[in-house]
Structure 1
């Protein structure tokens, strides 16, 4: 529904922006187009993430959700750059702006993007991919609000420079929010420990487990925008404690640290081991 609404609005907004000589309106239409592409990426990634693991992709295609979040952040940055460029050109070469037309179309944009953002708001806290789509739509709603205010100001003051000036201010606000999304998605793609997982506490928990005298080769990373994986070697001099004990550790990792997929290797500690990555 959000994709259909925004696709229709992109065409309408760009057409009226061209008619009204509003750079802000046309730039906003371009930003809306990036939303449509971003929503398409998020939707496609959500479908691909459901694919079951196979001999080729042993984790399935869960990581496509992280790719979609990264591409969405990059699309937002590109859209911001395009809006800023057009705004600067309009400031350097101003032209009359039809403030009334701009205001009406921008008001419609607030409604369309506001409704679309609301549809994604519930899942935006726990899923970076959904958060990316939500930020796209929320940013567009904010952009439309700025365009609306600029249009009204142009009507009452006749200051055409307010149209591109509003675009520049909005771009700065959007980029502040997008930077965090870009940073988080890049960290996920580089297999960093997720922000919601405290690695030292995880290691402390493993070391404190019954029979464990040491922990090494501990790795924690994101499998997707909602799932975390862990691998670790547990030194247990008394030997393998049985499936129930290992299952209990896995359950604690899932419930206490939101680590859904853990792989634990038990060692007696009779030989020297060290992580090859630290060699």
Structure 2
């Protein structure tokens, strides 16, 4: 599956880089800020895909030395970088768009329209490729968000080109750029929020720790569950730890297996660390024995 994801992302990267070079050239000739902003966004798309490919290779490495989880969180750092890049670039484009609203330059609407329509087709192809990859992976989801945002941006740019061709309203180019910037903010904030939850070791979205604790406590033989923690090692790997007390006479090993089955079947959590003890086990005393006189 990982090898297939690499090929899909690599194909999308090739499409984007090839079109981006042509779009920059046409944007300069047409005098279109919207096309140049789309090209800048495509540059972040390419960077996102490159980061995704590198992070996937790092995350696939086995644990070594002090990295007992391996480098799975490399993909989360990649998602953070993608989100920050989108926000920074959106501010730059928004400032430039306001300048063009105040003093709109001449724009070749026909070139803008044709190039944007080709961009729609290119992004549709890239979207199909990445959409077939494992989008449970936050890294791939981040790259997918870049591409989809760019698809909407090209549609806005095409609309601006059509308006310029039909009416000569040159400010449509700057308005389309503001739409692109807004889409980039939305995608960037979403990536930062999702990756930030993982870095802060919050419970995965859709899993309520209190509900999980109540379900564990409802397993026959369980008297109490405490010190429950649920967090994500990576975007597609959830971990859980808890201290479980079972009733006197209960089988700790059978109870632990029942709890693990529940976590796996009901919540998809397979990486578990459960300390299971009898409720009346007492407290282990550790001390030094005095030598005999």
Structure 1 outlier segments of 4+, above 6 Å: none
Normalised to the residue count of structure 2, the TM-score between the two structures is 0.86
Aligned pairs for 1:18-33 within 5 A: 18-33=28-43
Distance 1:262 1:53 in 2: 17
- Alpha carbons of structure 1 residues 234 and 242: separation in structure 2 relative to 1, 3 Å: closer
**Corresponding residue number in structure 1 for 2:154:** 144
Normalised to the residue count of structure 1, the TM-score between the two structures is 0.91
**Corresponding residue number in structure 1 for 2:290:** none
**Corresponding residue number in structure 2 for 1:37:** 47
Q: Is residue 231 of structure 2 the alignment partner of residue 221 of structure 1?
A: yes
Q: Where does the alignment leave 5 or more consecutive residues of structure 2 unmatched?
A: 1-10, 285-293
Aligned pairs for 1:158-197 within 5 A: 158-197=168-207
| Higher mean C-alpha displacement, 212-221 vs 33-42 | 212-221
Mapped contact 2:252–2:276 kept (Cα < 8 A): no
Q: Deviations over 1:190-246 (max 9, x none)?
A: 100001212112101221223322122111101111110001111235378354432
Aligned pairs for 1:1-279 within 5 A: 1-123=11-133, 126-238=136-248, 241-269=251-279, 270-271=282-283
Q: CA-atom RMSD, angstroms?
A: 1.9
Mapped contact 1:211–1:237 kept (Cα < 8 A): yes
**Corresponding residue number in structure 2 for 1:277:** none
Q: Secondary structure at the match of 1:217?
A: strand
Q: Deviations over 1:89-130 (max 9, x none)?
A: 212232100111111111111111111112122446523222
Q: Where does the alignment leave 5 or more consecutive residues of structure 1 unmatched?
A: 273-279
Distance 1:102 1:38 in 2: 25
**Corresponding residue number in structure 2 for 1:276:** none
| Higher mean C-alpha displacement, 118-127 vs 55-64 | 118-127
Mapped contact 2:34–2:177 kept (Cα < 8 A): yes
Tell me which structure has the larger Cα radius of gyration: 2
Mapped contact 2:202–2:232 kept (Cα < 8 A): yes
Q: Count how many residue pairs are aligned between Structure 1 and Structure 2.
A: 272
Mapped contact 2:23–2:36 kept (Cα < 8 A): yes
